[in-house]
Structure 1
Amino acid sequence: MLTAAQVLAENNFGDTRTGGLAGPMGLFLILVLATATVLLIRNMNARLRRLPDRFPAPGGVDAGRADAGVVDPTDGTARQESRPNAAKRPQQG
């Protein structure tokens, strides 16, 4: 017959030694994530190195010619030159 101490002392959580795969699997996942992170960082650095040092100004000579003949949406007959924020932008030297 079981006493109260034996019932309370019984291991109801199963054998804890059979789950020996959790530690190595966790290490494997950490190594895979670390490797993926290193490869992604190397790829981003390579892409950043290929970018030019400076980009052309967004209101340059070519941009002014490209949208010089925009149709006025209010009446559809008048043509105007479109240069938004041309006066607000500081001149770069």
Structure 2
Amino acid sequence: MGTFAVNNFGDTRSGGLAGPMGLLVIVLLCIATVLLIRNMNKRLRRLPDSFSSPEQTQREAEIARLNADLDRPAAGTTPRNVEQPRSVTPDEGTEDEVTADNTEGDVASADRDERHI
């Protein structure tokens, strides 16, 4: 009944490494912090003084995208031979020009046909 506090953790006086290990962790964290601050300062110095407005950036991105679309050949088409003179007739494999047909008569026939929606 006389002992209220019992040391169940062993002898803390001999061979204790908690103090030196804690000091080592703190020193390593300080070194890492100093290196990170130096690196961030270098990166911040490289940034420009001011950035362009979001509208200007969006406009430049749209122009770059449109230029890339113009430079890329359309899907399914072969690039035209630029060196070929324009007075030469096209190859036999090319299609003729497509012309639009008037479809007004189709609307009238669709109204009379019950099956066609």
Aligned-pair CA distance for 1:66: 2.0
| Map of 2:63 onto structure 1 | 66
The 1-side partners of 2:57 and 2:11 are apart by: 77
- Alignment root-mean-square deviation, CA: 3.1
Q: Count residues in correspondence.
A: 64
Q: In structure 1, the residue corresponding to 2:29 is in which secondary structure? A: helix
TM-score by length of 1: 0.53
Q: CA 1:45/1:29 → structure 2, altered by over 3 Å: closer, same or farther?
A: same
Could you tell me which of 26, 29, 35 is aligned with 1:33? 29
Could you tell me which of 13, 25, 28 is aligned with 1:17? 13
RCO higher in structure (CA 8 A, sep ≥6): 1
| Map of 2:45 onto structure 1 | 49
User: Which structure's CA Rg is the greater one?
Assistant: 2
TM-score by length of 2: 0.43
Calculate percent identity across the aligned residue pairs. Answer: 59
